[in-house]
Structure 1
């Protein structure tokens, strides 16, 4: 028996959609970084999953607000909030794309809350049997504040975990810091394999 593909949509869903996770402790600057990335060609056909629209301040980019929580930004990005479990949000996005209710997206960027442990977020992507067929973890980016980062790392286990599991560490607010050598040494001790870049 042969399958009939005449009714298939004109686009074909990728085998697995890459997922990037953006994290960073409260006030580190991850929302500022995300705002700078919106509009970059790398995100032109991405789906952004954030915790609250108000926290990200992207209202000036909205061209449509949907009652079901998925909106389209003026640059073409899709954006939605986490409704319940992240697994449910990811599954719902994939279902919407595959049934043609939203346009295709080529990647997903998840912005976590400042106090989030990123490990459960990562496990939601790579550990869930159904999602593992649709998504693959591309990487985790953690933003660290050059001014308060060292004190934050000493005081908060969540901040240390965010750094320890990251592929890339972005140091923000460098122009406001007198010296970043001690912070860079601490980051290297926590995660010697991570790529470290300056936000500026």
Structure 2
């Protein structure tokens, strides 16, 4: 019997200054379908929550009439999360999930690292997804000028386009194409005056027991909702990288976009464990600091079930075996988004997963009868 993951899901809400994160939170807190939420805000002095939502406020916590609560990051995120889980265990507060709103210039990476590497935190919380807001009215200029905004887009599982009513159709189309070029695997949602359906914000990660094949496809950006215009995309091999629209701005060139590279691969047959381990160890050793996100589903030779995995730089969550997997296919899918890495190098690395260990004369027998197979590399 599969044990239920009782850790609290955490949604990371990011986006550059003025993108509308707090407006979205105000709508979210009002929505009865959202349940009880603990909201953690980086800049507590700029909470901006509607006054009629607030029941009681202290130096560290704002209690909300909806039953949710809002906390400030104290000395660090781990301390704030630790305090929350202690109060929950003591029956002082009650919440079903956590939403962390970052500051507008924050890098989401360190927060993801905290959730994965702090032992106490990792026992109580799990990352449910990264939601990034992009301002449709000023998004192009922000991406031109601020690499932090580009980084936030690249890290996203879902991109929420805010203030679409303030952008004309042509500018909105250009922005969407640019966002797709930076992160083709992220689903894009248009907010309605700062509001989006709760369902698009939660349940984003496939790193949990009981996920279905459509859940995994959606997580990897391969669902029908995120299908690309290229009719061959997603069938096999690498998904085509969309061509960047020319002349994003007549005055300020898009100097940051080229620093972000993404690639994906599908491998039809189960992959040798030796091949996968060698590929991952090599990539992390050479390019670990530049791997913004890596995620995938892997079918390994000799294993009954596939598993899903997720990593940021050299930090990886524990892989989750899909023991109730009902899918009949054995296709492994891997998506990588990297920084300052040539697209050709990223693709060549992924092609290692297509290799098979060379058997026969190249195999070596070690003391104790263990056989080691030589892996042929593509370069």
TM-score by length of 2: 0.47
**Gap regions ≥5 residues in structure 1:** 1-13
Runs ≥4 residues deviating over 3 A: none
Using a 3 Å threshold, how does the CA distance of structure 1 residues 72 and 44 change in structure 2: closer, same or farther?
Answer: farther
- Pairing partner for 1:25 from 10, 16, 33: 16
Cα distance, 1:99 vs structure 2: 1.8
> Could you give the per-residue CA deviations for residues 133-156 of structure 1, whole angstroms, max 9, x where no partner exists?
100000010000111101111211
Residues 1-200 of structure 1 aligned to structure 2 (within 5 Å): 15-58=6-49, 59-67=51-59, 69-100=60-91, 102-178=92-168, 179-200=171-192
Higher Rg: 2
Cα distance, 1:66 vs structure 2: 3.0
More divergent stretch after superposition (140-149 vs 121-130): 121-130
Using a 3 Å threshold, how does the CA distance of structure 1 residues 158 and 190 change in structure 2: closer, same or farther?
Answer: same
Aligned length: 185
Larger relative contact order, structure 1 or 2 (CA cutoff 8 Å, min sep 6): 1
SS in structure 2 at match of 1:48? strand
SS in structure 1 at match of 2:17? coil
Cα distance, 1:34 vs structure 2: 1.1
TM-score by length of 1: 0.88
Instruction: Report if aligned partners of 2:20, 2:133 keep a CA contact under 8 Å in 1.
Output: yes
More divergent stretch after superposition (146-155 vs 34-43): 34-43
More divergent stretch after superposition (168-177 vs 29-38): 29-38
**Gap regions ≥5 residues in structure 2:** 193-379
> Could you give the per-residue CA deviations for residues 52-104 of structure 1, whole angstroms, max 9, x where no partner exists?
3442322331111235x12310111011111110011001100111122x222
Instruction: Report if aligned partners of 1:43, 1:77 keep a CA contact under 8 Å in 2.
Output: no
